[in-house]
Structure 1
């Protein structure tokens, strides 16, 4: 079942808020890349980005906690829980990308270019280092082709690790849901057995009640016949006494 974006769903609204915060942080990182590292503006933007990244991490964790609560209370379907879990993994992946960009460990070199400018690849932005700009303006420049290949390999390794982590989390979610389904099935079977036993006992009790009712009816009939015979005997004795007198 596809995820339905309903305006009244608080979880969806918070997810969209996290997406918006991510885009704002990316814009600030782009603006910071245009500033000198020793400038006051660079330091100001870095401080603001650091604060917003902590806010982003907190909001993502809150989304995850609320999803766990919704899954436990069964207020959403299994398919919806899995889809939202994948969305959270996407947010986690973006958080790691932001951390790499903020610490300037993720560098990118475009083949054949000597101009420092941002680029976008699968939602990840990168900038060339200032030292690289100086080398581009004059002097010896390391082989851009070799550096680009190494950088691409590192990025591929990061992406593969993130995908593996996401698949592992998804596998755990599916396993938990499977165990939950087994538990529910066992509980349903137990309840059915209890209902069958109660039905059998009720049928047995009903049969006993009907049998005892018949016995009572027979006893009541015999009691009425015995009274008639007593009256007849008393009348017979009275007649004999009158005849004898």
Structure 2
């Protein structure tokens, strides 16, 4: 698979950091042996400046790639972590050059192991995700558009399901209202029927009482 230009530039920048570390280590050996290190100091200063420019260029290209959706946000975050590591290594190399930091071989070891905190080997040699490996910028852009279209389709389907559930809820609510109205009507009908039964019962009792009274007045 073809390697993307950014990754090629990143590998070259990491190699440049290794070379700076080796020059500083050589400079330190010369100083310990009492040899002149003037030329090495000039070369180191120039290399450190070039290294910083390379890192800044990586940052600019990465920002452009993320903003134009040439790479995924996840890949952008991964590459940003790599750039941050390079910036840290550059500061360490500057401190070592000024004899204010650890020996360059320690820095080189940290570079090769990616630092203890990361727990990975050669972070800049990590392979790209399978989804973007070997793809050019246009291909990645098309892939991003396809992913967005699929996400939009999923959101549309979810919205349709929610709308149907809302409609079902409204229909259930309407049916409950109708059932409540029927229950209210039945309650009123029962109450009316109960009132009529009570009235009929009182009427029957009254007629029965009058009938009994009339029967007592009849001659034996």
TM range (shorter): 0.3 to 0.5
Looking at both structures, which has the greater relative contact order when contacts are Cα pairs under 8 Å and sequence separation is at least 6? 2
